[in-house]
Structure 1
Amino acid sequence: MTPNSFLSLIKEDALLLLKSMIQTPSFSKEEDQVSTLISDQLTSWGIAHERKKNNLWSKDPHWDDNKPTILFNSHIDTVQPSKDYTMDPFGGEEVEDKIIGLGSNDAGASVVSQLAAFRYLSQLSDRTYNLIWSATAEEEISGKNGVEFLLPKLGNIDLAIVGEPTQLDIAVAEKGLMVIDATVEGVAGHAARDEGDNAIYKAIKDIDRIEKFVFDKESDVLGPVKATVTMVNAGTQHNVVPDRCTFVIDIRSNGLYANKEILEILQNTLDAKLRPRSTRLNASNIPLDHPMVKRCIALGSTAYGSPTMSDQALMSCPSIKLGPGDSARSHTANEFIYKDEILNGIEYYIKMLEGFSF
């Protein structure tokens, strides 16, 4: 089979696999069936692979321990479908130039495009790097049984290419996330008397400090750290001065502060007691002079800082985020991907890696 005919075959396989994936519900923590579906397909293509929990991965047949390693990674889980769907979210219907359904854009298109590119590149024995393809679970909830569980099993990774809908532009940085539960203590009293120490009033002062607080370091790509109070709760009844007020702070970090550092700065600024739900979802970034960044820019991609979070937050290796589709369609009713976006994505992934060297 010629390279062109093989490329045509794997493109068609990618479109068919995506439709089957859409028709197989795969909510976070419920990816078993779609993982089995993809595994069976890999077996039918003669691709050796492994599975742990609901994560799949395959190493190319020309593995050389002396070469650096590049990881293709995207996710197979989806959010719940919007109630505003007018079409079957699990239909996987092809309407004119679109494939419609839950997870088509985010991130099924990246999964099948990376897999097609992996199949093509695995035939080339003269590469200067090893290649791993992986499809992982629980990305939508930043779960512990997805890429975080898989990475230690893969060995050293020199570069990860995270497949998400970026319109084939290259996200060279991505904001991190930390959610903080804040608690302010007061003293209960009768509202009709001059008694107590109102926890709401004390919390308001802290909330005002958060609104006005500016972190000194601002990223050229991701901008400033963003801290936003998103929930407040206090009081038991109208005539009791509340002795406790809780609020939630949503933190979007910019890569210039570790989440633990941001927590310490805020704790020294606020009266409230702060408890982070997690500090593990840090921001990520890669130097603009990295060979892969230069390669993608030469191919026509625009480098940008992403406000949305992906599995990059759980990776300690250098990484970029790039894939077919448009982030604006993610998690929307009647989610879709253009077929041409998938076909172009396959060709792009091949071009960025064919002949590449660090």
Structure 2
Amino acid sequence: MIEQLTTEAIDLLKQLIETQSFSSEEDNTALLIEDWFTTHQIPFKRNKNNIWATNKHFDEKKPTLLLNSHHDTVKPNNGYTKDPLKAIVEDGKLYGLGSNDAGGCLVSLIATFTHFYKKKSLKYNLVIVASAEEESSGPNGLNSMLSIIPNVDVAIVGEPTLMNLAIAEKGLVVFDAKVKGTASHAAHPNKDNAIYNTIDVLKWFQDYKFEKKSPVLGDVKMTVTQINAGTQHNAVPSEVDLVVDVRVNDKYTNQEIANILNQKSPCTRIAPRSLRLNSSSIPIHHDLVKAGIALGRETYGSPTLSDQSVLSCPSLKLGPGDSTRSHTADEFIYLTEIEEGIGIYINLLNKVL
């Protein structure tokens, strides 16, 4: 049964790769996922491009475990030497856009859910959500499903982790900042040049250290990622715009980070775009984590963002594939990683369910 599910899961992944599914354009991959559930006689529901289902013997008296991964992709970069929308198998690798992030995780979780769908007397209910708009953090992704699906007590979010246990994940706040100065003609003296004023501001962002360090996630990471100023060669602009990317550990809330930067940064103005993408974690003593450790999986803190950020319950990030391959040219996943991933997911849940 598991071997058959694995074969079918790999076939589904090949179909997903060959079906364009950029964020907010996942209509057709949603149809492929619907076909899986129809074929396996599993009732499902669709909300926009999110597909979800519950186990056959769902019991409202039991806690609920969410299985989630996404079927949207980023757009391919210019470095591809292979067709990104062609599923190509070479030397045990399955190439294609979304193969690693996060198609391998998604089909492995779908196969795992299918394996457990009809089982009776489970300790947890299961709900699976194949979600949209993860890559863009859009409004119609997993965040839009939390008021629709049953209340979730704990979650496994499928992202490539080499099947190791990401027991914490950094949150993200993007800030728009402004540095002011005095506009002038470039030919005249100006001791308040906004661009020169930015030098000290950039140095402050480079050197500033947040006090609280997490044993799992380390320091808060703050990086200036964009800068924009001026429109003419002979005119000194009155202001410089900066974009600051802050990866937040589990010792701070996003609001606390915003408060600190408002109080301490030397910018004229600094404001967060959103505070909803928080850090997330699961206790090391949770049954899911203990079960994973018993299977020989390592624990670590993840610096990358996923749909964990919209969940308020404990969540574990776990999946086949390697995060360092995500968003790279000629993205791929090893077929053996999918086979191993399904096996580990099933063995993990066997210990918990």
Please classify the TM superposition score into its range, dividing by the shorter chain length: over 0.9
Q: Is the 8 A contact 1:203 1:272 kept in 2?
A: no
Report the AA paired with residue 85 of structure 2.
Answer: F
- Return the alpha-carbon distance in structure 2 between the equivalents of residues 343 and 120 of structure 1: 14
Alignment of 1:1-358 (within 5 A): 6-195=1-190, 197-269=192-264, 270-356=266-352
Segments of 5+ residues of structure 2 without an aligned counterpart are: none
SS of corresponding position for 1:177: strand
SS of corresponding position for 2:352: coil
Distance 1:240 1:338, change over 3 A: closer
SS of corresponding position for 1:320: strand
Report the AA paired with residue 179 of structure 1.
Answer: V
1:83 is displaced (CA, Å) by 2.2
Q: Is the 8 A contact 1:73 1:160 kept in 2?
A: yes
Q: Scaled by the length of structure 1, what TM-score is found? A: 0.94
Report the AA paired with residue 318 of structure 2.
Answer: L
Q: Scaled by the length of structure 2, what TM-score is found? A: 0.95
Segments of 5+ residues of structure 1 without an aligned counterpart are: 1-5
- Return the alpha-carbon distance in structure 2 between the equivalents of residues 315 and 194 of structure 1: 54
Q: For the aligned residues, what is the CA RMSD?
A: 1.6
SS of corresponding position for 2:83: coil
- Return the alpha-carbon distance in structure 2 between the equivalents of residues 242 and 119 of structure 1: 60
Runs of at least 4 residues of structure 1 off by over 4 A? none
Report the AA paired with residue 187 of structure 1.
Answer: T
Distance 1:81 1:193, change over 3 A: closer
CA-to-partner distance for each residue in 1:225-249, whole Å, 9 max, x for gaps?
1111122222343443432122111
SS of corresponding position for 1:153: coil
Question: How many pairs does the alignment contain?
Answer: 352
Q: Is the 8 A contact 2:169 2:279 kept in 1?
A: yes
* Higher deviation after alignment, 282-291 or 344-353: 282-291
Report the AA paired with residue 275 of structure 1.
Answer: A
* Higher deviation after alignment, 317-326 or 206-215: 206-215
SS of corresponding position for 1:39: helix
CA-to-partner distance for each residue in 1:89-136, whole Å, 9 max, x for gaps?
222123342222111111111111111111111232121110111100
1:207 is displaced (CA, Å) by 2.0
Report the AA paired with residue 283 of structure 2.
Answer: P
Q: Is the 8 A contact 2:177 2:267 kept in 1?
A: no
SS of corresponding position for 2:135: helix
- Return the alpha-carbon distance in structure 2 between the equivalents of residues 89 and 191 of structure 1: 48
CA-to-partner distance for each residue in 1:138-196, whole Å, 9 max, x for gaps?
11111110100111111311111000111100101111111111112222234444456
Identity %: 50
Q: Is the 8 A contact 1:184 1:272 kept in 2?
A: yes
CA-to-partner distance for each residue in 1:267-322, whole Å, 9 max, x for gaps?
11124201212111111122211121111111111100111111111111110100
Report the AA paired with residue 227 of structure 1.
Answer: M
- Return the alpha-carbon distance in structure 1 between the equivalents of residues 187 and 152 of structure 2: 65
1:355 is displaced (CA, Å) by 3.9
- Return the alpha-carbon distance in structure 2 between the equivalents of residues 194 and 343 of structure 1: 68
